[in-house]
Amino acid sequence: MSATATGWLLTAVAETSSEGSTDHASERLANEPVQPIAPYQSEHPEKVELGKKLFFEPRLSRSGFISCNSCHNLSRGGTDNLPTSIGHNWQEGPINSPTVLNAGLHMAQFWDGRAATLQEQAAGPIDNPMEMAYTHTLAIEVLRSIPAYVDMFEAVYATRDIGIDHVTDAIAEFEETLVTPNSRFDQWLRGDDSAITADELAGYETFKSIGCVACHYGEALGGKDFHRMGLVHEYLTENPSQGRFEATGEERDRFSFKVPSLRNVERTYPYFHDGAVWTLAEATEIMAYLQLGRELPQADIDNMVAFMRTLTGEQPQITLPQLPPSTENTPQPVPFERE
């Protein structure tokens, strides 16, 4: 946790805890495997605003229709709520789209962790033929053809010579702001015992006692490491993804995936890398069996689901940006391609 985040956390504890209970809250924060999410304060608001426009910019795709927000819809928990995403020319994506919310808290990006940073991740879909199906060169040509964008890039980067690194840097800075603080569980972590119910607390205690926190810990309750899908029992799926193996080529990484965040998990269905499970209760039951070898009683499942619903935080409040118009020099989109 950064010094800024730590300072925010101490302030939040002091503000939400009455005198005499601050020690209780501090002890809870020190002893729990989960930490509250801190608001993200960017030092570059103009870059954030530019990144927001680019996040919503469909002209970075060949069709002129698909944007970052298409698969990471900020009105739907940062996902598209589909088993796998719909790409260019209605192609079926190979894997479930992870939420973009709180992604800056993760150790790496994509299910297989092939991108080390948000900036590196932002470059991938633009020139992926199954996703936005453009090239970086053509995407930059689009932006350079629009004077308003050239002016914005100059204001942020002190150059009118736009490059793909500028584009991905701005998108990444915007995505860093997409955190979801102040969930009811975070309020409990900061000392407000009334923030969650007895059943929700019981679900959290079960979550810890059976071993879920071995993978789902930290601010994001995930995103910190990779684990094999099916540690105790094999996971049967028709999805061809080999997980981390596809990034490293190491046999030990076959079927290992980045642990997904449980923040806002009630909004990020369907679940797993193949998007095969639509309910949180079923996902909980399956994961307990696959990863821990446990068959949970229904009461434990119900309580754990209730706990996980307390992890929904304040959603980013986004004003839809107005994008500058194209010019006669802007490459035209190709929304329909026929063989």
Q: How far apart are CA 176 and CA 163, in angstroms?
A: 20
pLDDT digits (tens, 9 = 90+) for 119-150: 999 999 999 999 999 999 999 999 999 999 99
Size of the chain in residues: 339
Amino acid at 125: P
The whole-number pLDDT of residue 8 equals 54
Q: What is the mean pLDDT of residues 256-272?
A: 98
Terminal Cα-to-Cα distance of the chain (whole angstroms): 52
54: closest CA among 160, 150, 170? Answer: 170
CA distance 27 to 91: 51
Q: Report which of 111, 128, 113, 114 is spatially closest to residue 70, judged by C-alpha positions.
A: 128
> How many other CB atoms are there within 10 angstroms of residue 236's CB atom?
8
What domains can be seen in the chain, in order of their start residue? Answer: 3-39+182-309 (1.10.760.10), 45-176 (1.10.760.10)
**Long-range Cβ contact pairs of 203-210 (< 8 A, separation 24 or more):** 203/300, 203/302, 203/303, 203/304, 203/305, 203/306, 203/307, 203/308, 204/307, 206/300, 206/303, 206/304, 206/307, 207/304, 207/307, 207/308, 208/33, 210/288, 210/292, 210/294, 210/296
Average pLDDT, the chain: 94
| Whole-number pLDDT of residue 333 | 96
- Spatial contact of 245 and 251, defined as CB atoms under 8 Å apart: yes
Residues annotated catalytic, as ranges: 131
Cα–Cα distance measured from residue 141 to residue 136, given in angstroms and rounded to the nearest whole number: 9
> What sign results for the dihedral spanned by CA atoms 70, 71, 73, 76?
positive
pLDDT tens column, 64-90: 999 999 999 999 999 999 999 999 999
User: Within 10 Å of residue 238's Cβ, how many Cβ atoms?
Assistant: 6
165-221 pLDDT, tens per residue? 999 999 999 999 999 999 999 999 999 999 999 999 999 999 999 999 999 999 999
For residue 15, what pLDDT band results from cuts at 50, 70 and 90? low
With residues binned 3-state (H G I as helix, E B as strand, rest as coil), the percentages for the chain, rounded to 5, are: 45, 5, 50
Q: Is the pLDDT of residue 3 over 50?
A: no
